[in-house]
Amino acid sequence: MKNPAPEITEKELNELIQSAKDVLQANWSGSFTRPSKNQYPHQWSWDSVFIAFGYTHYDKDRAEQELRHLFEGQWKNGMIPQIIFDQEHQSEKYFPGPDFWQSETSPNAPDHIKTSGICQPPIHATGVRHLIEYAPDRERAVAFASEIFPRLKAWHQYLDRERDPNNEGLVYIRHPWESGQDNSPIWDGILNRIEIEPSYIPAYSRKDINNVEPDERPSKPEYDTYVYLVNFFRERKYDEAKIRNDDCPFLVQDVLFNTLLCKANQDLAEIAEIIGENPEPFKTRADQIADKMNDKLWLDREQMYVDYDLKASKQIQARVLSGFLPIYASIPDQNRKQQIFEYLNTHCFCQMTDSCFPAPSYDRSGDDYSARTYWRGPVWINMNWLLYEGLKQYGFDDYVKQVRNSIIQLPFLSGFREYFDTNSGEGYGIENFSWTAALLLDILYREESTAIQ
């Protein structure tokens, strides 16, 4: 892979590390870290875990507080919501806000905290396991894990009970936002299938295009469907059985969500062993998820895993980066791992001989690929982090090095942006984005040497 970025000197790298810490400090609210001050002024679920990965190495108080504050918004049924709203500051800058979600209509919602009514990928146990492994004070980290363990267990039980009611082995999501990949091409067929009478779309005013160029964000028809789904949930007071049984138009067994749940169960089993709890239920669940993903979500023709549309009873054949990420949880066997790498190492996702930054979020050969539109092609640092962690286990060293370098070089070239152009390295979306800074810090702190190879 012909790296288009210049080499970084040790002095520049040290300055980059300090800049990353400055980003997190600037986004600190006093009790949690915002993804960004303007676009995302509240606390997001999986963002906070990625942010805690970075804090773990140099500010264990912040790492613990980040997760502790998130769990304060946990619902009574165990769900960790996508957003914990900071009602004292900047609530007018984000839509949909707490007044639109009306999560308080659910008897399961927390009593004194406003939240959204959906969740995000379950990477939380992995965040706690990371804290135990890398925090300077292991004894304190284990004590924190003991404190948070019942909440992690309740979160996993919610997913098993409410999102896999038939105990099939895979959980479903009910909104594109729950995947973390909001406007991915994965959802195009489903969203186009949903016919909505205009009167069923509540009046709303978008805030996201006030800070970012509209062509970088989801389209209005996409956003109309997002809002329609939120209204569908709130009309049923976020009762999972009613949502499921009232013909919810979006029910998907998502590759990334289930991959991260599999890994989280593996990590929760390790946490249980460390603190003297029974690890077996989590090991069993992780194996069940992996087996079902291999059975139902693998698409041999595409050499990757794909989502499953429960409403249409068929696989969704979208060629997205998340289709490779089951390697993060060691789900594929050796043969499939090799097939995954052979597809990943093509022009579609930045081949070793290409001049580009790995890895785009969507196949570059796709007719609707876009280098700058949200989840339809740009490089995301969190996805690269997951890819890096997965690939490095299996000896794909040259590609691993390039993914690692892109995590460092993209912020060096373009600042701590939300996402990046795979060809030029240009940054898009919001500036000073927290998980971009935090995951760069995590990579560098975990290395014996911070020299760019």
Torsion, CA 251, CA 185, CA 127, CA 8, rounded to 10: 180
Decide if 328 contacts 263 (C-beta within 8 A): yes
Given phi > 0 = left and psi -120 to 50 = alpha, else beta, which region is 42? Answer: beta
418 belongs to the catalytic site = yes
Q: How far apart, in whole angstroms, are the C-alpha atoms of residue 359 and residue 380?
A: 8
Decide if 410 contacts 420 (C-beta within 8 A): yes
Strand-by-strand arrangement of the 307-309 sheet: 252-253, 307-309, 314-316
Beta-strand relationship, 252-253 and 298-299 = unpaired
Instruction: Choose the catalytic residue: 160, 182, 216, 240.
Output: 182
Q: What is the DSSP letter of 7?
A: P
270 belongs to the catalytic site = no
What does the block give as tokens for 129?
């396991």
Q: How far apart, in whole angstroms, are the C-alpha atoms of residue 357 and residue 360?
A: 8
What does the block give as tokens for 205?
């005013």
Q: What is the DSSP letter of 205?
A: -
Whole-angstrom CA distances from 297 to 309, 333, 394 are 10, 14, 21
Decide if 44 contacts 82 (C-beta within 8 A): yes
Decide if 383 contacts 407 (C-beta within 8 A): no
Instruction: Choose the catalytic residue: 222, 240, 389, 418.
Output: 418
Q: Which residues are catalytic?
A: 182, 418
